[in-house]
Structure 1
């Protein structure tokens, strides 16, 4: 920053202005804004969520107002329109805010509402980076990654400058918020950030070709839904031939709506498929605990204990009973908290057949027909007609 010319003191040219409040663009500005907005909202009797510090909840009898803050973007929803309008007016009286409008676009995510429910997509975001990489007229492909040859760290010649590759994969990571069908591929490509090659670059551009054909697809939340949590947990044991570390994944549904998913490599090598799957179940149960706590704060009680589906019999039994004790002594104690959750009646674990394991979509590559089947099963669909 430089001193504005009209404020320069000719007698003391080295003097500068003292900032009495944070200027937009400084590193400390977002935190200062959050602190100021938080204190004001707490004065309005909002409660700051423990599960998500960006969420504020106002409860008055049976009336709820939820306010989500992301830097200077604010989302306000609730079950009473007059209460929402009152909160918006109070915010406008205290801060300089734009005129409120219905939710259509938030943080790069487009919201399309119909009588049947809410559809979230990132169509404009996709079109923007397709244009940036000259892929708007790319020939569409049916899958985001080719089943062969398998990408490795040594595949192909190293790129002279990996900056563009890292930018593209970073953009795809944000896109996976509404596109779980590309989660596995993005996770795989993210493992080559430090040494991208020509083959990795071509694989990243293939995702653009895949997206070019289905830019309007996204996640649909049905207006008619029940409050039950169920998750599918899976692990690809020693799937990485470079370091033999497993990739675990989970998909969490609330009723029929997909609400959370991830695909991530584990921290260490698993000595058996049961160990790899058990670690995946532990990560899934941690996510279910967080979602349950969040729903409790939102005033949405769960009448049915959350359920985890796992396609490994040994891992399923291990969740409830300390079997094979001699084989699991080396597993860290933090993975065993899932057993405590089950014994306390806060969680259930059940076996599911491999062909019904939806989390497979995030851990493995499949032929075209099976991939399209899984994509539809997890709910990556175009927006319904108005």
Structure 2
């Protein structure tokens, strides 16, 4: 909402609403207008919302899901597990038919499903979650050990999250990459991107491509194309929010062939 140069934003999820804006008096007026038509409870300044903890500092806003992680670790009795430095090992790679199929996959599916919501503030585990989600239909003991490794990683990084820092005229830029034929089951590449507004990440993904790429250049170029589409959408969204990007966004790619193409 734009009123005399001031913006007010409403984020609505079922019966939970966040209201913020560039004018505190206008924000308060919007809350009062809503209260005249609906019964609402004003919870004051943002602190906790849908499993996300928001900590305000003089430099910006820190978003994390510490309680969500703690509850998950408690549920599987791994709160005090020995931490590891990475979510997944670089080798050996997980495959569809590795080791023995789990007799009861319920816990595996429950944990991986819970981890998907955690990716809202944890881009560092996006690849691991994407990989583990591919085995939901028939998880094995190796897949289960990989899930436990992710949980051990989380037990040592409870306070990690996203820090939204105050910046003037931040530049929009993105990093794109692809793992050519990285899946030894179907040889489909996984592409990933992370988009920054200034120094803070605002959009990221790790996802398998829709078909088999015949070269690393093709895999990387597909990844760049997907990144460009997302960047274009982010630019459009920021414009709607009254935050136009004044510099041309940049996408960084580490493949020379894709860059020349």
Tell whether 2:127 aligns with 1:192. no
Distance 1:99 1:130 in 2: 32
4+ runs deviating over 4 angstroms: none
Q: Given the alignment, which residue of 232, 241, 244 partners 1:301?
A: 244
**C-alpha distance in structure 2 between counterparts of 1:84 and 1:222, whole Å:** 22
> Which whole-Å CA distance do the structure 2 matches of 1:265 and 1:140 have between them?
28
- Deviation of 1:312 after TM superposition, in Å, equals 1.2
Instruction: Kindly report which structure 2 residues correspond to 1:102-113, keeping only aligned pairs within 5 A, or say none.
Output: 102-113=45-56
| Superposed CA offset, 1:15-54 (max 9, x none) | xxxxxxxxxxxxxxxxxxxxxxxxxxxxxxxxxxxxxxxx
Alignment match, 1:311: 254
Paired residues of 2:61 and 2:163 also in contact (CA < 8 A) = yes
Deviation (angstroms), 1:98: 1.1
Q: TM-score, normalised by structure 2?
A: 0.97
CA contact (8 A) 1:156 1:197 kept: yes
Secondary structure in 1 matching 2:248: coil
Q: What is the CA–CA distance in structure 2 between the aligned matches of 1:273 and 1:82, rounded to whole Å? A: 54
Given that 1:158 and 1:197 are in contact with CA atoms closer than 8 Å, whether structure 2 keeps it comes out as yes
- Asked if the contact 1:227/1:303 (under 8 Å) is kept, the reply is no
CA distance in 1, matches of 2:168, 2:99: 48
Structure 2 residue 187 is matched with structure 1 residue 238: no
1:225 CA drift (Å): 4.4
> Quick check: 1:235–1:277 contact (8 Å CA) kept in 2?
yes
Name the structure with the higher strand share.
Answer: 2
- Paired residue for 1:67? 10
Q: How many aligned positions are there?
A: 261
In 2, the alpha carbon distance for the partners of 1:285 and 1:165 equals: 34
Counterpart CA distance in 1 for 2:145 and 2:24 is 50
Q: Distance in 2 between matches of 1:305 and 1:88?
A: 37
Distance 2:258 2:31 in 1: 50
* Alignment check: 8 A CA contact 1:274 1:312 kept: yes
SS at match of 2:159: coil
2:171 to 194, 214, 228: 228
Distance 1:223 1:77 in 2: 15
Q: Choose 1 or 2 for highest CA Rg.
A: 1
Looking at structure 2, the residues matched to 110 and 75 of structure 1 have their Cα atoms a distance apart, in angstroms, of 13
| Distance (whole Å) between structure 1 residues aligned to residue 3 and residue 120 of structure 2 | 32
1:208 and 2:116 equivalent? no
Distance in structure 1 (CA, Å) of the matches to 2:124 and 2:104? 28
Q: 2:90 is matched with which residue?
A: 147
Matched, 1:100 2:15: no
Give the Cα–Cα distance (whole angstroms) in 1 for the partners of residues 89 and 13 of structure 2: 37
Aligned partner of 1:264 among 183, 200, 207: 207
Distance in structure 2 (CA, Å) of the matches to 1:106 and 1:132: 21
**Structure 2 partner of 1:26:** none
Q: Structure 1: where are the runs of 5+ without partners?
A: 1-57, 319-386
Using the TM superposition, give the Cα deviation of residue 162 of structure 1 relative to its aligned residue in structure 2, in angstroms.
1.1
C-alpha contact 1:88 1:100 (8 A) present in aligned 2: no
Matched, 1:291 2:227: no
Whole-Å Cα distance in 1 between the matches of residues 248 and 205 of structure 2?
22
* C-alpha contact 1:225 1:256 (8 A) present in aligned 2: no
- Give, in whole Å, the separation in 2 of the partners of 1:211 and 1:177: 14
Per the alignment, residue 371 of structure 1 pairs with none
Cα distance in 1 between the residues matched to 2:232 and 2:135: 32
| Equivalent-residue separation in structure 2 for 1:282 and 1:225 (angstroms) | 28
Give the match's secondary structure for 2:142: helix
Corresponding residue number in structure 2 for 1:253: 196
> d(CA) in 2 for partners of 1:209 and 1:152?
21
